[in-house]
Amino acid sequence: MVSARTSSDPARDIPEATVARLPVYLRALTTLVDAGTSTCSSEELAQAAGVNSAKLRKDLSYLGSYGTRGVGYDVEYLRYQIAREIGVTQDWPVVIVGIGNLGHALANYSGFRSRGFRVVALLDADPRRHQEAVAGVVVRPFADLERIVEEQDVAIGVIATPAVASQDVADRMVAAGITSILNFAPSVLAVPDGVDVRKVDLSIELQILAYHEQRKSSAAEVIA
Amino acid sequence: MVSARTSSDPARDIPEATVARLPVYLRALTTLVDAGTSTCSSEELAQAAGVNSAKLRKDLSYLGSYGTRGVGYDVEYLRYQIAREIGVTQDWPVVIVGIGNLGHALANYSGFRSRGFRVVALLDADPRRHQEAVAGVVVRPFADLERIVEEQDVAIGVIATPAVASQDVADRMVAAGITSILNFAPSVLAVPDGVDVRKVDLSIELQILAYHEQRKSSAAEVIA
DNA sequence: AGAAGTTTGTGAACGCGAGAACAAACTCGT
DNA sequence: ACGAGTTTGTTCTCGCGTTCACAAACTTCT
Ligand SMILES: NC(=O)c1ccc[n+]([C@@H]2O[C@H](COP(=O)([O-])OP(=O)(O)OC[C@H]3O[C@@H](n4cnc5c(N)ncnc54)[C@H](O)[C@@H]3O)[C@@H](O)[C@H]2O)c1
Ligand SMILES: NC(=O)c1ccc[n+]([C@@H]2O[C@H](COP(=O)([O-])OP(=O)(O)OC[C@H]3O[C@@H](n4cnc5c(N)ncnc54)[C@H](O)[C@@H]3O)[C@@H](O)[C@H]2O)c1
């Protein structure tokens, strides 16, 4: 049989830098749709997304030719195409492990649902957390992980445990069949090939800011 | 007068990619110190930080020559040098604006203090939040921003408000004298030159994972 | 002291991403 | 129908970051 992929969707590999920007474009387009805009130019969209218009056009060109020269892009249509390319036209089931300070905030976060994700389970090792419901989802024992992942076909896991527990949690997730992990713990996770890990690290972000802040002060000193 | 900078600290500009990794090295070194390690090779440290050893050595070479050939690095000494380079040998005062779900988690986060930052104020526009204390710090009116920034000489601000409010908050922060912003709201902030903005965006991270996850599934289909 | 072994620091090659610049393709007015 | 104006898609160039590979510098053993 011939490949099921359409001509507009060959298995081309989109540069990683572009992939990281597509969600930004998606959000900018959603904002435009909500504002009732039906068409926009690369210049307008680029401004809304905070990037250079040449870069935007180049990024979009990896997806296909969805614009019209002399006119611009159909906002609704482009939004759907990007959502499809990212894979958020349907909801992805997600489990969150570690329902402490941060886990609670994540579980309460309404932006999940509206952006292509659905929290199907909240897990914690501490029995005192169990039975509590956060945003309508009950906190369950960590031991339930394997069953939930299998039953609900979960591919994405979020780790919000202390750093010391994060590698163990990741190992269990991978063994259970999870292949994408978002790690909020300040740790470096080791995972097998084929498993993607992204990390969100507050301290690192602040320290990067601190570095530049320090340079600003010393630059000021030189002038003074 | 001759420049106050020492020969080991010329105003060389460290590549941005390296700056982003220094905090990772710092954390790995702190872990090693806690484990009682006194010396380590670039290979060991690179493994702990999750990077290639050649990259680690090149990164460190921008700071100076702090290793000993044939031996490796003195863990404690290197840790101090990196902390000094980043600028976290003293604490930076930080204000957090928007004490909702996420703001509470951030305010309760103990990792701030241990990594070079000190939360000096929690601000929220909603009067019902005021007077509440989170981790020993009282939530105060957003209108207090200017006074606090001036009195405590705050350079770094964290935004944890809804997206619609984030630009207004950023404008007020900049006007008050803040020059580094960490933005948790899903928005693109416009700020003047000289002000640094970094963003942490949960949805973007998840969507990047979703993109790769989708590719994994379609790759599996091709095989099947 | 000297040879063998170890590990750092860096020069050089390579690949990817950013941005400028322009031809192609479309709309609109006449 | 045709020219003027607009905006996309793409080519080309440049700079940055990654990685390899190796000389320099140190330790250890004989
Ligand atoms: N709170 C923040 O704003 C913040 C910011 C940045 C990073 N972090 C990081 O996020 C993580 C969580 O932070 P927090 O403030 O929510 O901590 P927390 O201590 O409040 O919550 C951690 C939760 O994980 C659970 N847990 C511990 N071990 C577990 C295991 N093996 N399996 C399942 N659950 C387990 C605990 O029972 C607890 O409920 C930490 O690694 C922290 O460094 C937090
Ligand atoms: N909760 C999460 O896990 C999470 C995850 C990712 C991103 N975010 C983003 O972080 C932000 C905060 O999320 P949240 O869940 O804490 O929301 P939230 O509604 O619980 O809290 C927002 C807080 O900001 C305050 N606020 C509103 N306008 C303000 C203003 N102009 N000045 C000062 N304070 C103001 C509100 O009073 C409220 O207390 C949102 O932009 C959200 O999209 C949250």
Which domains can be identified in chain A, with CATH numbers?
2-86 (1.10.10.10), 92-203 (3.40.50.720)
Q: Are A189 and A170 in contact (CB under 8 A)?
A: yes
A115 touches chain B (CB under 8 A): yes
A216 touches chain B (CB under 8 A): yes
What residue type is assigned to position A171 of the chain? D
Give me the pLDDT at residue A223, please. 61
* Neighbouring-strand partners of residue A141: A124
Give me the pLDDT at residue A122, please. 98
Average pLDDT over residues B87-115: 96
Closest CA relative to residue A95, chosen from A85, A106, A83, A86:
A106
pTM of the model as a whole: 0.95
- The C-alpha atoms of residue A174 and residue A159 are separated, in whole angstroms, by 12
Q: What percent of chain B has pLDDT over 70?
A: 92
Give residue B105 CA to ligand 1 midpoint distance, Å.
10
In the predicted structure, residue B3 carries a pLDDT above the cut 50: no
Give residue A125 CA to ligand 1 midpoint distance, Å.
11
User: 3-class secondary structure for chain A?
Assistant: CCCCCCCCCCCCCCCHHHHHHHHHHHHHHHHHHHCCCCEECHHHHHHHHCCCHHHHHHHHHCCCCCEECCCEEEHHHHHHHHHHHHCCCCCEEEEEECCCHHHHHHHHCCHHHHCCEEEEEEEECCHHHCCCEECCEEEEEHHHHHHHHHHHCCCEEEECCCHHHHHHHHHHHHHHCCCEEEECCCCCCCCCCCCEEEECCHHHHHHHHHHHHHHHHHHHHHHC
Ligand 2 pocket, residue B200 CB under 6 Å: no
Q: Are A139 and A122 in contact (CB under 8 A)?
A: yes
pLDDT digits (tens, 9 = 90+) for B157-202: 999 999 999 999 999 999 999 999 999 999 999 999 999 999 999 9
Give me the pLDDT at residue B223, please. 62
Digitized pLDDT (tens) for each residue of chain A, 224 residues in all: 333 333 344 456 899 999 999 999 999 999 999 999 999 999 999 999 999 999 999 999 999 999 999 999 999 999 999 999 999 999 999 999 999 999 999 999 999 889 999 999 999 999 999 999 999 999 999 999 999 999 999 999 999 999 999 999 999 999 999 999 999 999 999 999 999 999 999 999 999 999 999 999 877 666 66
A1 touches chain B (CB under 8 A): no
Question: Which secondary-structure segment (H or E) carries B190?
Answer: none
In the predicted structure, residue B1 carries a pLDDT above the cut 90: no
Task: Tell me the chain B residues in contact with residue A180 when contact means C-beta distances shorter than 8 Å.
Answer: 209-210, 212-213
Q: Which ligand is nearest to the CA of A123?
A: 1
> What band does B10 get if pLDDT is binned at 50, 70 and 90?
very low
In a 3-state reduction of DSSP, which class is residue B13?
Answer: coil
